[in-house]
Amino acid sequence: MSSPETFYDVFRQQGISRRSFNKFCSLTAASLGLGPSFAPRIAHAMETKRRTPVIWMNGLECTCCSESFIRSGHPLVSDVVLSMLSLDYSHVLMAAAGHQAEAALEETRTQHAGEYILAVEGNPPLNEDGMFCIVGGRPFLEQLKEMAAGAKAIVAWGSCASNGCVQAAKPNPTQATPIHKVIRDKPIIKVPGCPPIAEVMTGVLTYILTFDRLPPLDRLGRPEMFYGQRIHDKCYRRPHFDAGQFAEEWDDENSRKGYCLYKMGCRGPTTYNACSTVRWNEGVSFPIQSGHGCIGCSEENFWDNGPFYDRLAEVQTPLGVEANADKIGLTAAGVIGAGVAAHAAVSALTRVRNPNSGE
Amino acid sequence: MNGFEGSFLGNSDRISPDAALECGVCWWVYDPTQGDETWQIPAGTPFAELPAHWRCPSCDAAASQFMVLHDDDAELQQKPRPAIPESRAQLRQRERQILAAYTAVDARMRDLPVYNGKLTIQVVGLQSWQESLLAVLVTPWCMNILRLPGDSERLPIEGSSRDIAFPSGSYSFTSGQVEGLGAIESCSLFSPMEQFDDPLVAREVAAHALEALLQAPEPAPISRRHFLRGGRNSTDDAAR
């Protein structure tokens, strides 16, 4: 696929109407929190820019990220997937196999050196020289490093690539290691979640392709627009939390009433993700809405943070709430000035304001 | 009789005795000063007191099809009853009510790990705002913008969210029920409250937040270049 076609050409070839193309652009602008004025710009970029090759690699993982990705809400998004990904390299989606596939990978690496985006699902195990994950006869670690060298940017899909996930849980026999600890010389966008929300994944990719730069990232390298708030902040059961109304058992009266699941082990208060706003399956629902607490799957070491059904109790792990996101120095009462309090207030307010509404 | 399709959402009490109503089907007008000869309704009968069997004498449409044509008193009647306390004493009373409600909640929250024992329950900056009450609630487990609706306002169903516009932008509020307080709407600023050490600091942050909420942002300076090119301002380019 070396022809200089644009995304729009690809869409047209697949028989997608101008109307649904525009719809896709405005939906994407909205999901990126950019406001309607950006839709024409996304459309313009898609019409004029050359297709950026995306290579999707799979290491030690369960493919749930790919599965989530190809089920993203708007039908056209899956077409984005097919036109951007399958043509180059992806274990799950490509038609080629064996030597042919590896040849395609090699071709992209050499022909588009420095241009392509490397999407990594899963992570490399380092133990026994990487023997626990072999792709095309070689350790995945080797392939990963080789492909990363020529990549423009790397997207770490899912919790495996971002922070290790289940294979890195104690005692981690294969020494599965998140990719930012293996590759240190490339910009890495972490999109944690097990799996991440489909719209978040397509949104991140569209942002990079449209604006030709990385989305704004938080301190942990996650896109701010999707990981800037806790599940708890926008949870529809939040008023029950505030009012001290909790489910105490899975089948008690309170859980039937839809009370807060915090006492049942919900990790909402310590989890940064967009589930409570974007939701899943085209915005139909999300775990808490289905009656199950959040398990905090986008947080670091979530497998090691105690049983899912134990209350967050002693889960004030230093890695949980404290170290994350925007901690503000509001301690030490006598020391802080009025400026600090005002700044904290304004930044909290900015965080909860609807995008683009105050400008 | 109720269910006026076009008038006051079916609230026939809202139609003043002098109101003239128009048939939504054939535009025949019922004027109370004239009455209705066809149905032998004497002049001076308010629309709301027409017999149940009364129908449009011109086209036989049901009374519920009628809409208010002009109603001088309706303006007055539409205004909500003075549910919003205006005086300082009334505000103090509402504040005490909120404090009492959340003090009751406090007993249930106290043994939870999210409870920050260094903080106290405070209601900061309670004030009336657009026919409702607005404040920032500080508790050992959360800091929320709290909106108490006026008596005549019906909130959306519990757990649903809606956007409310403030001078500084629009914010998503979720409605809920608090025992002793009734229906409220809230927008979370902080929760859990682990970054606060001191109730005074929390109070100060809350006051600043409320102030910023009700303050319109200064308009971004329009650059001449962008103005001439038809752009609105320089932030248009940047993706935030």
Same domain, B141 and B168: yes
Q: Does A258 touch chain B (CB under 8 A)?
A: yes
Most confident of A34-43, A257-266, A318-327: A257-266
Residues A109-120: tens digit of each pLDDT:
898 888 888 999
Q: Quick one: pLDDT at residue A2?
A: 44
pLDDT band at B188 (very low <50, low <70, confident <90, very high): very high
pLDDT category of residue B102 using cuts at 50, 70 and 90: very high
- What percent of chain A stands above pLDDT 70? 86
CATH number at residue B203: 3.30.1460.40
Residue A331 touches partner B, C-beta closer than 8 Å? yes
Q: Three-class SS of residue A243?
A: coil
Tell me: do B134 and B73 sit in the same domain: no
How far A50 CA lies from chain B's nearest CA (Å)?
21
pLDDT the model gives residue B72? 59
Instruction: Tell me what the mean pLDDT of segment B13-33 comes to.
Output: 83
Instruction: Name which of A66-75, A269-278, B60-69 the model is least confident about.
Output: A66-75
Average pLDDT over residues A237-265: 92
Q: Note whether residue B240 is domain-resident.
A: no
Based on the domain organization, do B60 and B124 belong to the same domain? no
- Domain check: are B72 and B138 in the same one? no
Q: Are residues B97 and B209 in the same domain?
A: yes
* pLDDT at B174 exceeding the cut of 80: yes
CATH, domain range A229-311: 4.10.480.10
Q: How far separated are the first and last CA of chain B, in Å rounded? A: 55
Q: For chain A, give percent helix, strand, coil, nearest 5.
A: 45, 10, 45
Evaluate if residue B239 carries a pLDDT over 60.
Answer: no
pLDDT at A165: 92
CB within 8 Å: B198 and A338: no
B64 and B107 inside one domain:
no
Q: Is the peptide bond before B221 cis (omega within 30 degrees of 0)?
A: no
A329, pLDDT greater than 60: no
* Pairing label, strands B29-30, B20-23: antiparallel
- The residues near A72 (Cβ < 8 Å, ≥ 6 apart) are A78, A81, A198, A199, A201, A202
pLDDT for B10 equals: 52
Residues B112 and B143 grouped into a single domain: yes
Residue of A nearest to B167 (CA): A358
Among all chains, which residue has been given the structure tokens 């519990």? B158
Domain that holds residue B162: 86-213
- For A17-28, write each residue's pLDDT tens digit: 888 888 878 877
The whole-chain average pLDDT of chain A stands at 82
Residue at which a domain ends, from B77, B105, B134: B77
Residue range A272-276: mean pLDDT, rounded: 92
Q: Average pLDDT for residues B173-177, to the nearest whole number?
A: 91
For the cut 90, the answer to whether the pLDDT of residue A193 exceeds it is: yes
CA angle B8, B177, A354 (to 5 degrees): 75
Looking at residue A322, what is its pLDDT? 39
List the one residue out of A60, A183, A182, A62 whose CA is nearest residue A132.
A60
Q: Is A24 helix (H, G, I), strand (E, B) or coil?
A: helix
A239/B209 Cβ within 8 A: no
In a domain, B231, yes or no: no
Domain check: are B36 and B126 in the same one?
Answer: no
Q: Name, in order, each residue with C-beta under 8 angstroms of A111's C-beta and a sequence gap of 6 or more.
A: A2
Per-residue confidence band for B49, with pLDDT thresholds at 50, 70 and 90: confident
Is the CB of residue A345 less than 8 Å away from at least one CB of chain B?
yes
Higher-scoring residue by pLDDT: B15, A3: B15
Beta-carbon separation of A236 and B160 below 8 A: yes
Are B146 and B175 in the same domain?
Answer: yes
Q: Is A36 on the interface with B (CB under 8 A)?
A: no
- Nearby residues of A49 by Cβ (< 8 Å), 6 or more positions away: A6, A7, A209, A210, A212
**Exposed/middle/buried for A15, CB within 10 Å: 0-12, 13-18, 19+?**
exposed
Asked if the structure places residue B232 within a domain, the reply is no
Ligand-binding annotation for A64, yes or no, is: no
Instruction: Say which CATH number the domain at B65 has.
Output: 2.20.28.10
Instruction: Confirm whether the ipTM is greater than 0.85.
Output: no
Q: B235 vs A359: CB contact, 8 Å cut-off?
A: yes
Long-range contacts of A247-255, Cβ-Cβ distance < 8 Å, separation of 24 or more: A255/A291
Q: Between residues A123 and A228, which one has the greater pLDDT?
A: A123
pLDDT band at A317 (very low <50, low <70, confident <90, very high): very low
Locate the chain B residue with the closest alpha carbon to A237. B159
Averaged pLDDT for residues A86-93: 70
Residues B31 and B94 in one domain: no
Q: Residues B183-209: what's their mean pLDDT?
A: 88
Is A297 within any annotated ligand binding site? yes
Q: Strand B161-166 to strand A138-139: parallel, antiparallel, or no bridges (unpaired)? A: unpaired
- B230 occurs within a structural domain: no
Both B66 and B108 in a single domain?
no
In a domain, residue B59? The reply is yes
Q: What is the pLDDT confidence band of residue A359, given thresholds at 50, 70 and 90?
A: very low
Preceding omega of B32 cis (within 30 degrees of 0): no
The residue among B177, B188, B233 with the most chain A CBs within 10 A of its CB, best to mutate, is B188
Residue B3 lies in a domain: no
Interval B114-142 mean pLDDT: 91
Residue B236 and residue A37: Cβ atoms within 8 Å? yes
Q: Does A246 touch chain B (CB under 8 A)?
A: yes
Percent of chain A at pLDDT above 90? 36
Whether the pLDDT of residue B36 is over 50: the answer is yes
pLDDT of res. A332? 46
Q: Give the residue, B118 or B234, on which the prediction is more confident.
A: B118
Q: Is the pLDDT of residue B5 over 70?
A: no
**Residues A122-181: tens digit of each pLDDT:** 999 999 999 999 988 899 999 999 999 999 999 999 999 999 999 999 899 999 999 999
pLDDT at A77: 59
The span from the CA of A46 to the CA of A34, in Å, is: 16
On whether both B90 and B208 belong to a single domain, the answer is yes
Say whether pLDDT at B140 is over 90: yes
Residue at a domain's end among B77, B96, B124: B77
Band of the pLDDT at B121, cuts 50, 70, 90? very high
Residue predicted with more confidence, A320 or A229: A229
* The pLDDT of residue B71 is above 70: no
Which pLDDT score is estimated for A345? 86
Work out the percent of chain B whose per-residue pLDDT is above 90. 25
Share of chain B above pLDDT 70, in %: 81
DSSP string, A194-222: SSPPHHHHHHHHHHHHHHSSPPPB-TTS-
Whole-model pTM? 0.74
CATH topology classification for A7-227: Rossmann fold (3.40.50)
